[in-house]
Amino acid sequence: MSVVGIFNQWNKTANPMKVDADGVTWRATLPLAYGKYVYKFAQFLPNGEEKWVVDPRAPLDETDKINDNSVLIVLPAGYDIPASPDDGKTASDALLHLHGVRDVSYDQGKISLSLRARPNDLRQINLDASGKRYPMQLVRSDDIFAIYKATLPWNRQQDLSYRFELVDGNRVSEYGANGLTPDSQPFKIIAKNFQPYLLTGSPQPLKMKGPLTTQNVAGPSWAKNQPIYEVNLDVYKFPKGTALREFEKHLPTLKEMGVGIVWFMPLQPRGYKKGYGSPYSVRDYADINPDLGTKADFKRLVERAHKLGLRVLMDWVPNHTSWDNAMIEAHPEWYVKDAKGEIAQAQTWADVAQLDYGQSGKWNQPLWNRMRDDMAFWVRDYDIDGFRADVAGSNGKVPVEFWKWLRPQLSAIKPVFMLAEADNAEVHPAFDMTYSWSLPPILWDITAGRKSALAIDDELRKEAVKFPDGAVLMRFLDNHDWHGHADWGWGNGPAIDTKNGLSQVAPLMVLCATLPGKPLLYNGQEMSYLKVDPPSEAGARTRSAVWPFYRSLLELYQSQPAVFEGSFSKIHSNHDDKIYAFTRQRGQDRVLVVVNLSDQIQNAILKDAAVAGQYRDWFGKSDVKFAASPSINLAPWAYRVYVSRSQ
Ligand SMILES: [Ca+2]
């Protein structure tokens, strides 16, 4: 007998149970943080049979309509009574202020401090800092914890002392470094020791584990070291009706480059009523756009991809349909209505109608079922490997409950990989990957001299706080929403910025492939850094001047466990504003990345004894040996990736 659950990724060998002296009571002890866990017992019967059963003494997870799982909720003390902000009773076990990167962040003259507490337990929380009082704002809340935050000016000259003042009914108490006691000691930040990510006197660099690694990916194991590639068939010059057959010939080249997952923009028939025929205006979810090819063509393409070891994602548009989708006539009740009772358009997009998934307590279940059936059809009958879901987060109207309900049903067909066009934490783990939307503009600002390279740390720190363990972020410089295709109705975002020269793109793509996350290449990016569309001939990719760079970069991601699932540690240098350096480490495997994000030569001195060792210079193809605090001469926009040789 063993216990299996989300705490051990449903691994039936991870937590075996032992039988007590009574011969009937089985027992296992697991260290669990506060939170909600679903689980079962795996019984191994003498006849070799294996049965997974629910815990007869625990409630079932009611949020899961498909699977029967037992629920265990580990709560801090005091949660047995209902929370009230007016009862004078405070759940002190819930309170937490980590004197580290999670709860302290500094940005350009301002410091932000966070406190965790029980939701709805307190009337008001004030930060008392150096004689001033700052009301704290609720920034995030789930079933168990709420996070409050205050931001105050700080010049980094004087030491900072602070406590949290908690107002609960008539009771006012103080939470300090020694907890919630009448004589609380203040938390202290010593100015001379402070660096934005060094919060104590000890010179330990920023270390982040868990939230930014792919170690605990809930998705299929095949995905973990595979780069993703977005295909936009519209911009190739294929004859009408042949795109699927023609693009099939490109698959071996993508495979050769190191792509593992191929994401096709929507392939379904499009609506032209009130619009121009956007791929995201779907007329029939269960068919293939005849302008691109046939269902048989698509089936053959997926089979060819699988033979090559590639995986195929379909783009799915669950938020809205075209105005001539048959669902509008057959099921007007599946659409949002405007004030006049007419079917409403989705957001500002005149070519699409807004679907209505209902609200908690009265979900539009027939629509949920229909969307699931249409998605399941492609997984089951066409053997696709997952979806990229359009407008899947809080920017659209598809509720996260739908995704939680859908995921196990798709995974029951085969282990699918799910990418959400969203940057919301709550869509994990129903989705394996979300977009790192906010990093690319920061990278462009750094290369343009508008921001310090330290801004990358700030972004990583925000991600570490925001996203749950196991969430993978997709790293990119371009995608169809940004790329400036001249004849498109969108594509005016940052995209690939060539204003300061092409050379700066390489160090940024190195970051996209080596920071925790998964790199995306967009349609033809490997052929040119310029805003031109890729040619329809498959071999053209390999003749591009930048092909060797991308091929080597993707091979790095595929071959080095430290890169695709290692922990991240920041490495400081003598020019932290221009040079970004870090290590990724898994076990004995280490990869050291150093990029020069400036147009000047930099003599980088890495101030970290941990980098000492023997390495292979991945792109330079030579062996190097570093002592503690090595000095590395970097040309403008230079990038170096060193792979440890102690393996
Ligand atoms: Ca209370």
pLDDT at position 292 over 60 = yes
Non-local (6+) Cβ contacts of 341 within 8 A are none
Given the structure tokens 């691994």, which residue do they identify? 11
CA of residue 491 relative to chain centroid, distance: 22
Residue 187 Cα, ligand 1 centroid: separation in angstroms?
23
- If phi > 0 it is left, if psi is from -120 to 50 it is alpha, else beta; for residue 633 that is beta
The rounded distance, in Å, linking the Cα atoms of 624 and 630 is 11
* Among candidate residues 521, 519, 524, 561, the one with its CA nearest the CA of residue 540: 524
219 exposure class (CB count in 10 Å sphere: 0-12, 13-18, 19+): buried
Residue 99 Cα, ligand 1 centroid: separation in angstroms?
24
Q: What is the pLDDT of residue 531?
A: 55
Given the structure tokens 């089979």, which residue do they identify? 303
pLDDT in tens, 318-335: 999 999 999 999 999 999
Residue 121 Cα, ligand 1 centroid: separation in angstroms?
4
Residue 118 Cα, ligand 1 centroid: separation in angstroms?
9
pLDDT in tens, 515-567: 999 999 999 888 865 556 677 888 888 888 888 999 999 999 999 999 998 88
Residue 97 Cα, ligand 1 centroid: separation in angstroms?
18
Residue 317 Cα, ligand 1 centroid: separation in angstroms?
44
* Among candidate residues 225, 214, 218, the one with its CA nearest the CA of residue 261: 225
Residue 143 Cα, ligand 1 centroid: separation in angstroms?
16
CB atoms within 10 A of CB 637: 21
* Fold observed for domain 92-202: Immunoglobulin-like (2.60.40)
Given the structure tokens 């995921």, which residue do they identify? 407
Residue 166 Cα, ligand 1 centroid: separation in angstroms?
10
Residue 171 Cα, ligand 1 centroid: separation in angstroms?
9
Given the structure tokens 């599946």, which residue do they identify? 334
b/e 370-395 (16+ beta carbons within 10 angstroms → b): bbbebbeebbeebebbbbbbbbbbee
The rounded distance, in Å, linking the Cα atoms of 58 and 72 is 7
In the chain, where the domains are located: 2-74, 92-202, 221-318+359-437+471-563, 565-644
CA of residue 364 relative to chain centroid, distance: 28
CB 122 within 8 A of CB 166: yes
Residue 170 Cα, ligand 1 centroid: separation in angstroms?
10
The rounded distance, in Å, linking the Cα atoms of 434 and 225 is 16
**pLDDT confidence tier of residue 409, bands split at 50, 70 and 90:** confident
Question: What average pLDDT score do residues 10-29 get?
Answer: 89
User: Which H/E stretch holds residue 166?
Assistant: strand 160-168
pLDDT in tens, 412-458: 788 899 999 999 999 998 999 999 999 988 998 888 888 899 999 98
Residue 91 Cα, ligand 1 centroid: separation in angstroms?
7
Strands of 553-621, DSSP E: 567-571, 579-586, 589-596, 602-605, 613-617
The rounded distance, in Å, linking the Cα atoms of 142 and 147 is 9
CA of residue 455 relative to chain centroid, distance: 19
The DSSP code for 273 is T
Q: What is the pLDDT of residue 9?
A: 66
Q: Do domains 221-318+359-437+471-563 and 565-644 have the same CATH topology?
A: no
Residue 36 Cα, ligand 1 centroid: separation in angstroms?
22
pLDDT at position 47 over 70 = yes
User: 221-318+359-437+471-563 architecture in CATH?
Assistant: Alpha-Beta Barrel (3.20)
Question: What average pLDDT score do residues 219-248 get?
Answer: 93
Phi, psi of 360 (to 5 degrees): -50, 130
Q: What is the pLDDT of residue 100?
A: 57
The rounded distance, in Å, linking the Cα atoms of 231 and 234 is 9
Pairing between β-strand 386-389 and β-strand 311-316 as defined by DSSP bridges: parallel
- Give the tokens for residue 196: 């934005």
Non-local (6+) Cβ contacts of 602 within 8 A are 575, 578, 579, 596, 633, 634, 638
Strands of 349-452, DSSP E: 349-354, 358-359, 362-363, 386-389, 417-420, 433-435
CB atoms within 10 A of CB 307: 11
Question: What average pLDDT score do residues 44-55 get?
Answer: 90
pLDDT in tens, 175-197: 998 888 888 899 988 887 765 54
What distances in angstroms separate CA 637 from CA 477, 504, 573, one per listed residue?
16, 5, 16
Q: What is the pLDDT of residue 78?
A: 86
Residue 89 Cα, ligand 1 centroid: separation in angstroms?
4
* Among candidate residues 315, 353, 360, 316, the one with its CA nearest the CA of residue 337: 353
pLDDT in tens, 460-504: 988 888 888 778 999 998 888 877 553 333 444 444 554 445 678
Q: What is the pLDDT of residue 163?
A: 95
Residue 115 Cα, ligand 1 centroid: separation in angstroms?
16
Residue 195 Cα, ligand 1 centroid: separation in angstroms?
36
Torsion 336-341-347-349 (CA) sign: positive
Q: What is the pLDDT of residue 633?
A: 95
CB 442 within 8 A of CB 451: yes
Given the structure tokens 């931001």, which residue do they identify? 151
* Among candidate residues 72, 173, 171, 61, the one with its CA nearest the CA of residue 115: 173
Beta partners for 581? 571, 594
Average pLDDT along the chain: 87
User: 565-644 architecture in CATH?
Assistant: Sandwich (2.60)
CA of residue 30 relative to chain centroid, distance: 28
Selecting from 1.10.10, 1.20.1070, 2.60.40, 3.30.70, what CATH number does the domain 2-74 have?
2.60.40
